[in-house]
Amino acid sequence: MSKFNHYAVQLDDIVKVALKEYTDAVERLKKAEAGKRDHPRPTSDLADASHVAAAARAEAEYAEASKALHDAKVKMQGTYREQIKQTRRELEAEVTKAYMADPAKVDTVALELLKSGILGPGEYVHMWNEAVKTENHTMARLIGKYAGEAAAARAEKHGTTDPDAAQMRQVENAARQYDGRERMAAFDHMVDLYERACREPEALANLPRWEKFTAGTVEAF
| Residue 16: Cβ-neighbour burial (10 angstroms; 0-12, 13-18, 19+) | middle
Predicted confidence band at 56 (pLDDT cuts at 50, 70, 90)? very high
Say what the pLDDT of residue 205 is.
66
Same domain assignment for residues 19 and 61: yes
Distance CA 46, CA 211 (A): 53
The mean pLDDT value for 163-190 works out to 96
Domain that includes residue 110, residue range: 101-176
CB burial of 124-139 (b: ≥16 within 10 Å; e: otherwise) equals bbebbeebbeeebbbb
pLDDT at 203 over 70: no
Same domain assignment for residues 92 and 185: yes
Same domain assignment for residues 171 and 188: no
Distance CA 209, CA 83 (A): 21
Distance CA 62, CA 31 (A): 8
Predicted confidence band at 113 (pLDDT cuts at 50, 70, 90)? very high
The candidate with the shortest Cα–Cα distance to 75, out of 25, 5, 150, is: 25
Same domain assignment for residues 61 and 161: no
| pLDDT, tens digit, 9 for 90 and up, residues 121-139 | 999 999 999 999 999 999 9
Same domain assignment for residues 9 and 76: yes
pTM reported for the whole predicted model: 0.81
Say what the pLDDT of residue 49 is.
84
| pLDDT, tens digit, 9 for 90 and up, residues 65-105 | 999 999 999 999 999 999 999 999 999 999 999 999 999 99
Q: Is 12:216 a contact under the CB 8 Å cutoff? A: no
